[in-house]
Amino acid sequence: MPKTTNDGASSPPDPTLSGGVDATVSAEGGGRSGRSGSSGSSALSSGAGDGSEARGSADSAGSVGEPGRRSDSGGRAIAARKKQYVIAPRQPDGLQAMSFQPLQFSALEQALRSSHDIEVVDTVGPKSVLGALADGMGGSQGVLVARMTEQKAAVLHQQGQGRLLVEQDQHLNLMEPGLRQPALVTGMMPAAAGGPVLNAVISVVGKDGAPQAEAEVSLFGSMLPASGVTDANGQVTLSLFGETPDSVRGLYVKPKADYWSFYQRDPDISTDEANVVGLRALSDWPSLAGFPRQRAYGWGQKAMRLDQLPGNYRGQGIKIAIIDSGAATTHANLRGIKAGFDVLNKKTNPDGWDQDTLGHGSHCAGVIAAADIASGIRGFAPDAEVHACKLFPGGQISQLIDALEYCIDKQIDVVNLSLGGAEVSEALEQQIVRAKRAGIACIVAAGNSGGAVQYPASSPNVLAVAAVGKLDEFPADSYHAQTLDQNVDAYGYFTAKFSCFGPQVAVCGPGVAITSCVPPNNFAAWDGTSMATPHITGLAALTLAHHPDFQTPQYKARGAERVERLFQLIRASAHRVSLGDQSRTGFGLPDVLVAVGLQTQAGQQPAQAVAPQAATLAPMMAGQPLGGSLGGNFAGLMGNLGGAPVYDPLALDMARAQFAAYGGWPPLHVGAFPLPKPYNPIMW
């Protein structure tokens, strides 16, 4: 659950925030009824001067840990640094019931900039008149990004009286599963002297013994693991403290590109000579024979029947944004990507979106829209207009809000979000709602922690995607085999161990051993809900471009109703896979031919049009805010209203309503799908 706004700090509000939100409210001339004084407002008023008295009190209280102060023993004492916060007016959806007027963005910005101890580092808002009016609200949307102490943030939040969002600008993560350590690995560090040390040289080679540079190698023992990257000779030396050859539990190798990963449980490690790992080339696998010289469909694309789609179904006229690590246009399959936005470097190099140092965004882009050329792979929608928004490495909530603002301005149709954060963000949710009202469908990875669905996939305003794998689509000695769980159906489909689960999961996508593009002009097979989500994004683009519903006036017009109809068609096109709990797969694996309207799902009625009230659902934050994280006075006020909606962070009520509307989980119908032969476990 979300933490408190000030990260759990129990210190009293800092009285040195002069002006603050009181100044903003005064500038507006009202909006609150029956407001009484409080300790927070008194503290704010007491600091309305230069703040010297308050600062003197703080100094005399003994702030030895304040940044920059010298300790008695010499040197610089360690203390908490200033943190970056996202500050935004709470939008009217959650305020009208209290007869509150939302804070005006311009007045808020002026108040914050006038405070000597708050540094406004960025302003994110509509990039044009089109963006300002995109959601039909005509309001003054935007967020401020500012640096301040936790105490300042606490005062600011309190003085907002429920009309102001003050959230720490949390860092986001790409949805690629981390390496799972073998069981019983502990975090203990043995003594530096006297304990055993295992030094092992790992040599990684490919075809014809060619050394593989920049391969990630990890050794696992009973305590801390050792990891490194191979040099130009394909070698790396790893040292495990407190281990012997007999206590090594696992060896993992992840090549940079063009080869399958490798994992060996209980490896026989030598300390006297190099330990050679011979990798298999991707093209050695039967389904990828001749790859990449000869074009191939990925197993996931074939499982969704993309290879059976008529050749003129290519996503024409649809705009797709991939908010990720960029897209390497040096890749032959990605040269058609002509537009983007480097959010990380928007002030210095906004066109740096085509530099992808991580490869993650390029991998997603390949699945979605790789060019239909003679080599490599073919994406779902090769004729769609793709925009690459670079958010990684180091992306934060405020920058994701900025990237979505770009999408609103460019009238993007579908956004791929293979990312997530540790906590729910109301400021981001407001932006997701704006995007949805502007007709933008957000397809989001459920997460790779193996736990509950992460945010923003847990939002009811997006389509959350879990990951499944399929047997016989990767070598048994690759790390992909470690993602297998016991829920394997008769056709070899299984739910991936790492995939998050919960009632918010709408559908699942192929997310194990997915081969796609990586820089500069190579291919790699990766796992993750990050890889599953682009499959559904590509399918969404095809559905918008070619399903008859979106040629009618009702759904051709951009808006939330159009987005809800798209989500409904994707869910209705899915069929059950795996034997596991359906909270791990949602309605199942979507089918391209059904989603674009060429076929009807066997045994199911066509999806009904979404009711207008469902299409214009209030955002998930419309009622009571997030517990202690964003609550304070606003939570108490909302509690007194009695009839106010309650914030549902897991969207349980919405999930139940969805399941009821669709008659529960759809049954497993295989008649319409040319499924492969049942999996023979003896061959594994």
Catalytic residue among 93, 324, 549, 591: 324
* pLDDT of 20 strictly over 70: no
Asked if the structure places residue 618 within a domain, the reply is no
Amino acid 188: pLDDT: 63
Catalytic residue among 203, 449, 530, 629: 530
Write out the DSSP string of 373-398. Answer: -SSSB--S-TTSEEEEEE--SS-BHH
Band of pLDDT at residue 412, cut at 50, 70 and 90:
very high
Q: Are residues 319 and 457 in the same domain?
A: yes
Specify the CATH number for the domain of residue 254: 2.60.40.1120
Write out the DSSP string of 61-97. Answer: TT-TTSTTPBPTTSSB---PPPEEEEEEEPPGGGTGG
Q: Are residues 147 and 216 in the same domain?
A: no
Asked if the structure places residue 623 within a domain, the reply is no
Q: Are residues 141 and 215 in the same domain?
A: no
* pLDDT of 118 strictly over 80: yes
Mean of all residue pLDDT scores within the chain: 79
Q: Are residues 314 and 249 in the same domain?
A: no
Known active-site residue 530 = yes
Asked if the structure places residue 603 within a domain, the reply is no
Q: Are residues 335 and 249 in the same domain?
A: no
Known active-site residue 360 = yes
Q: Are residues 514 and 554 in the same domain?
A: yes
Q: Are residues 304 and 261 in the same domain?
A: no
Q: What is the pLDDT of residues 583-618, one digit of tens each?
A: 999 999 999 999 999 998 765 544 443 333 333 333
Query: What average pLDDT does range 573-590 have in this prediction?
Result: 92
Whole-model pTM?
Answer: 0.80
Specify the CATH number for the domain of residue 159: 3.30.70
Catalytic residue among 169, 203, 283, 360: 360
Q: Are residues 323 and 361 in the same domain?
A: yes
Q: Which domain holds residue 133?
A: 83-173
* pLDDT of 682 strictly over 60: no
Last residue of a domain, one of 157, 173, 189: 173
Q: What is the pLDDT of residues 198-254, one digit of tens each?
A: 999 999 999 999 999 999 999 999 888 999 999 999 999 999 998 999 999 999 999
Q: Would you say 567 and 403 are in contact if contact means Cβ atoms under 8 Å apart?
A: no
Asked if the structure places residue 636 within a domain, the reply is no
Q: Are residues 259 and 326 in the same domain?
A: no
- Number of structural domains (the chain) is 3
Q: Please give the backbone phi and psi of residue 20, each rounded to the nearest 5 degrees, phi first.
A: 55, -150
Write out the DSSP string of 318-387. Answer: -EEEEEES---TTSGGGTT--EEEESTTTTT-TTGGG--SSSHHHHHHHHHH----SSSB--S-TTSEEE
Q: Are residues 427 and 569 in the same domain?
A: yes
Query: What average pLDDT does range 420-438 have in this prediction?
Result: 94
Q: Are residues 168 and 225 in the same domain?
A: no
Q: Are residues 218 and 302 in the same domain?
A: no
Asked if the structure places residue 639 within a domain, the reply is no
Last residue of a domain, one of 251, 280, 309: 280
**Range scoring the smallest mean pLDDT among 120-124, 178-182, 381-385, 638-642:** 638-642
Q: What is the pLDDT of residues 123-174, one digit of tens each?
A: 998 877 666 666 555 454 689 999 999 999 999 999 888 889 999 999 999 9
Residue 14 carries which DSSP code? P
Task: Measure CA 115 to chain center.
Answer: 34
Specify the CATH number for the domain of residue 351: 3.40.50.200
